Structure 1
Amino acid sequence: MGFADDRLIPLVDEGLGNSAYLVDLGDGRALAVDAARDLRGLRAAADRRGLTVAYAADTHLHADFLSGAVQLAHDQDATVLASAAGHRAFPHRGLADGDEVDLGGLTLRALATPGHTDEHLSFLLLDNDRVLGVFTGGSLIVDSAARTDLLGAERTEELARAQYGSLRRLAALPDEVAVWPTHGAGSFCSAPSGSRRTSTIGAQKQSNPLLAADDEDTFVRRLMSQLGSYPDYFDRLAEVNRRGPRVLTGQPPLPALDPRQVKSLLAEGGCVVDARPAAVYAAGHIPGSVSIPLRGQFATWLGWLLPDTVPLVLVTDDDQDLAEIVWQAYKIGYEHLAGRLTGGLSAWLADGNQQAVTAFVTADRAEDRPYLDVRQEAEFTAGHVPGAVHIELGDLAVRAVDAPERPVVACGHGERAMTAASLLERAGHTDIAVLDGGPADYAAAHGRRLAEGGAG
């Protein structure tokens, strides 16, 4: 039908809540925008169309994932396009506001849109003088804007005011121009937004509450009021992306380890990450291991809860995708993967080692315990069990002392709660139960109504 249907391929990372884009330039070459280090999906899409990536554009120095641009430059001789103000320490074509790149029939024009970062660029995709769409990165996103606090609390308001100017500049584009953001629903780089990932300028002028702000001060208050917590690894990755991630020469390894090797690594300060489902972990696990079930959000919680400097040992089920685990770790810079316990927990037990168990209970079996809610602040405020103690999962490792004794730990379904229970067990808490379900299940089982607001 239109250009977006025929030649633009969105590549969505549901776990991080981000989108990369592959643009078919019509001559066997392609443009990649905001590609992540895990290039499996992009390469598959390019191969299906017989495309070679000739250009890799980054809208900004990403904080939530490692860029794949350097890898594309190495593998396919792609030209990296990025803001000159980012001072990247690897070969690239530095662009400033208004600079254009001839893509061979189409043109990419840089538009300075600071706010999410100082050096942020949006990219207009033009066919002659007609603007087809704009890659807005971490500036204008669907029904919101990207957060402005990643460079420190002391600069949050300054960058929010810059974001106001950037959104106004984008809103001046023709209504029919497509909006192709990087950040979206599920991204901790964005202020809260809906489930749609693309839009148009006209639609955003109608539905985006930030664009509806009467003035700059209202915009700033509205944006800053939506900023919740974000993973610790965000504070590291922008600089890694500025220097350029290490080029990989193939599938990163995940060596096989026997129980004795695992014990040796633990004695040297390593950590066991158990990627099995929450219920399987509850039934038996290596004492002191951290439960992070393999799902879309695996990378987020790995990066939020564990340092990137310690050797990590993986415990998995036989049917789990080991490549997925590895790439989720590598896309956020976690490369110290010591290996996987061969034979899993059965091998651990056969070697004469102990296991720990965690109660995984339904709502009707949890009423006599204090209720510990580990969801995000916005989730808790929207509806929680009256009297619940609230500690976000990301804060729990340093706030374990604030957790009640003998709690039932809960989130929305059980995965984050099992992670929280594993952290509490590491901190010395005992007799912990995890709720198999969420606050609505608990309230229904006990004839209660959920409370709203920040107080329990």
Structure 2
Amino acid sequence: MDVITIETPPLGDRSYLIHDGQVALVIDPQRDTDRVEKEAANAGVQITHVAETHIHNDYVTGGLQLAKDHHATYLVNSADQVDFDRTPISDGQTLQIGKMTLRAVATPGHTHHHLSFVVTHEDRQAVFSGGSLLYGSVGRTDLVSDNDTVPLTHAQYASVRRLVEEATPEAGLYPTHGFGSFCSSGPASGADSSTIGEQVQSNHALTDQDENHFVQELIDNLSAYPSYYAHMGPANTAGPGPAQLDVPQPLDAEDLTARLEQGEWVIDLRNRIAFARDHLHGSASFEYGDGSNFTTFLGWVLPWDRQLTLVGERDDVENAIRDLSRIGIDQPDVALGTDPAALAPNAARNSYPSVGWEEVRTDRSEQEDVILDVRRTDEYGTQHIEGAINLPLHELLQRMDEVPDRKLWVHCGSGYRASVAASLLQRAGKNVVHIDGMFDDAEKAGLPMTG
């Protein structure tokens, strides 16, 4: 048995291709299934089965489409009410896949109908735990509803204990979530691999013998999660279609200018410092870079289901289209180029200062100006600059009327979220300064802290 991992770092998730040298099982595939198909082709194996551990909240699945394209058996929990044909599977059921044996284990907690899969081949065993048992932690339990969070947390505690009893200590553990995903909770270890036996010794969900303490601690440490999660479950229940990954015909200067003037969402993918220096008035800064922050924050911050126009160099635009398809944002329009003057010569342009912490200390008027902290409330509560106002980035558009009509020095933890916020604030007519620096360096620069 060979386990091939297909990583999606921007969403902190993993999909898996498991094969015996001839046939393959795919677990929790992302929507851009071409990556899975490439691995199967490289291994020279046929995809015969596709399985979902749960109806995902943080991305649109590629499972249904992959199964259709390969005439594969699509395994989804029999208890999930879905709008498409699938092969139902339930707790305790076993299935032969080539020389491998798959056994389903009910592990409710992350969702009501969550399944984990124990796959055995000869003397090797692997556990695919989805959003149940993670490296050092477990999947979060508050995504279904507020009323379900406490019972699901108790269920999660019981589920991971049952799961480790269903496998050998030497079994490899392969979770879907927990690699920076907002679907994880608690003190995730940051490990790249693990076994069931290692987790028994180190995972707080397994070492904490007080169930009520575990439940309360996990719930107390849950933080905000992206608003687009609300759309993922319904999309997956309905049965997503194929990802549309082609770059469309680029807009011309006239069309791009018209969209800016009409207040549509024009997304600038360039480096945030370049954006601050010169950009098309009314555009929003979502630096693509390596894509690690792009998908999460764009999907979290902007209104859902609006037409987007992506502006940037072709490689970034192409990658951004792929990333956005994973959360159900399809077919954005594009404009290719990095020079605002060339992209839309007749459109208004704008800029704002981008500074480091030293300039905040020396150039800010403490009496007149406002430091605006756009980190999450839990980050702000841990430590913040004395006198700073907290308005989390993901709440900014809904709470713009609360923003003081003064010069705003905008910061976050690294400069990324602050650049998004500064662009949105300027778009709304505010006077902004973008602070491009790590929050940990603010105190070193002499800014007083509290919290």
- Further displaced range: 256-265 or 145-154: 256-265
2:249 alignment partner in structure 1: 255
Does 1:273 find its partner at 2:252? Answer: no
Hey, what's the Cα distance between the residues in 2 that align with 1:13 and 1:177?
A: 23
Aligned AA (1:111):
V
Does 1:439 find its partner at 2:439? Answer: yes
Hey, what's the Cα distance between the residues in 2 that align with 1:245 and 1:198?
A: 30
Q: Secondary structure at the match of 1:372?
A: strand
Does 1:149 find its partner at 2:142? Answer: yes
Residues 308 and 253 (structure 1), Cα distance of their counterparts in 2 relative to 1, 3 Å cut? farther
Give the Å deviation of 1:336. Answer: 4.2
Residues 384 and 288 (structure 1), Cα distance of their counterparts in 2 relative to 1, 3 Å cut? same
TM-score w.r.t. the length of structure 2 is: 0.92
2:426 alignment partner in structure 1: 425
Cα contact 2:248–2:334 (8 A) shared by 1 = yes
Hey, what's the Cα distance between the residues in 2 that align with 1:135 and 1:305?
A: 32
Cα contact 1:372–1:388 (8 A) shared by 2 = yes
Does 1:69 find its partner at 2:63? Answer: yes
Aligned AA (1:26):
G
Give the Å deviation of 1:131. Answer: 6.3
Hey, what's the Cα distance between the residues in 2 that align with 1:343 and 1:204?
A: 48
Give the Å deviation of 1:251. Answer: 3.2
Q: Secondary structure at the match of 1:444?
A: coil
Task: Within 5 Å, give how 1:111-122 maps onto structure 2.
Answer: 111-122=105-116
Task: Within 5 Å, give how 1:206-217 maps onto structure 2.
Answer: 206-217=201-212
Q: Secondary structure at the match of 1:15?
A: helix
Task: Within 5 Å, give how 1:12-27 maps onto structure 2.
Answer: 12-27=7-22
2:48 to 21, 32, 54: 54
Aligned AA (2:393):
L
- Further displaced range: 321-330 or 251-260: 251-260
- Runs (4+) off by over 6 Å: none
Aligned AA (1:68):
G
Q: Secondary structure at the match of 2:258?
A: helix
Aligned length: 440
- CA displacement, residues 71-127 of structure 1 (integer Å, 9 cap, x when unaligned): 212322222111111122222211010111211111111111111111110001112
Give the Å deviation of 1:332. Answer: 0.5
Gapped runs of 5+ residues in structure 2?
none
- Further displaced range: 337-346 or 172-181: 337-346
State percent identity of aligned pairs: 35
Aligned AA (2:422):
A
Give the Å deviation of 1:188. Answer: 0.7
- Further displaced range: 223-232 or 337-346: 337-346
Give the Å deviation of 1:358. Answer: 1.8
2:293 to 286, 297, 304: 297
Does 1:185 find its partner at 2:179? Answer: yes
Cα contact 2:285–2:420 (8 A) shared by 1 = yes
1:225 to 217, 220, 229: 220
Cα contact 1:315–1:344 (8 A) shared by 2 = no
Hey, what's the Cα distance between the residues in 2 that align with 1:362 and 1:343?
A: 24
Hey, what's the Cα distance between the residues in 2 that align with 1:440 and 1:342?
A: 35
Give the Å deviation of 1:419. Answer: 0.3
Give the Å deviation of 1:197. Answer: 4.0
Does 1:371 find its partner at 2:396? Answer: no
Aligned AA (2:250):
A
Cα contact 1:277–1:293 (8 A) shared by 2 = yes
Hey, what's the Cα distance between the residues in 2 that align with 1:161 and 1:288?
A: 47
Give the Å deviation of 1:381. Answer: 4.3
- CA displacement, residues 317-345 of structure 1 (integer Å, 9 cap, x when unaligned): 35x43321111111110014123256751
Cα contact 1:258–1:341 (8 A) shared by 2 = no
- CA displacement, residues 377-411 of structure 1 (integer Å, 9 cap, x when unaligned): 44444543333322221112222333443121112
Q: Secondary structure at the match of 1:398?
A: helix
Q: Secondary structure at the match of 1:313?
A: strand
Hey, what's the Cα distance between the residues in 2 that align with 1:202 and 1:51?
A: 30
1:107 alignment partner in structure 2: 101
Aligned AA (2:213):
T
Hey, what's the Cα distance between the residues in 2 that align with 1:53 and 1:39?
A: 12
Give the Å deviation of 1:214. Answer: 2.3
Gapped runs of 5+ residues in structure 1?
none
Cα contact 2:270–2:338 (8 A) shared by 1 = no
Residues 56 and 110 (structure 1), Cα distance of their counterparts in 2 relative to 1, 3 Å cut? same
Residues 195 and 377 (structure 1), Cα distance of their counterparts in 2 relative to 1, 3 Å cut? farther
Aligned AA (2:237):
R
1:10 alignment partner in structure 2: 5
Does 1:175 find its partner at 2:169? Answer: yes
Q: Secondary structure at the match of 1:86?
A: coil
1:312 alignment partner in structure 2: 308
Hey, what's the Cα distance between the residues in 1 that align with 2:192 and 2:383?
A: 26
Hey, what's the Cα distance between the residues in 1 that align with 2:20 and 2:313?
A: 42
1:136 to 115, 129, 136: 129
2:334 alignment partner in structure 1: 339
Hey, what's the Cα distance between the residues in 2 that align with 1:221 and 1:371?
A: 34
Cα contact 2:256–2:344 (8 A) shared by 1 = no
Hey, what's the Cα distance between the residues in 1 that align with 2:296 and 2:172?
A: 29
- Further displaced range: 395-404 or 62-71: 395-404
Hey, what's the Cα distance between the residues in 1 that align with 2:78 and 2:195?
A: 28
- Further displaced range: 259-268 or 197-206: 259-268
Hey, what's the Cα distance between the residues in 1 that align with 2:214 and 2:181?
A: 21
Cα contact 1:25–1:31 (8 A) shared by 2 = no
1:204 to 177, 196, 199: 199
Give the Å deviation of 1:31. Answer: 1.3
Hey, what's the Cα distance between the residues in 1 that align with 2:179 and 2:338?
A: 37
TM-score w.r.t. the length of structure 1 is: 0.91
Cα contact 1:440–1:450 (8 A) shared by 2 = no
Residues 170 and 381 (structure 1), Cα distance of their counterparts in 2 relative to 1, 3 Å cut? farther
Cα contact 1:210–1:223 (8 A) shared by 2 = no
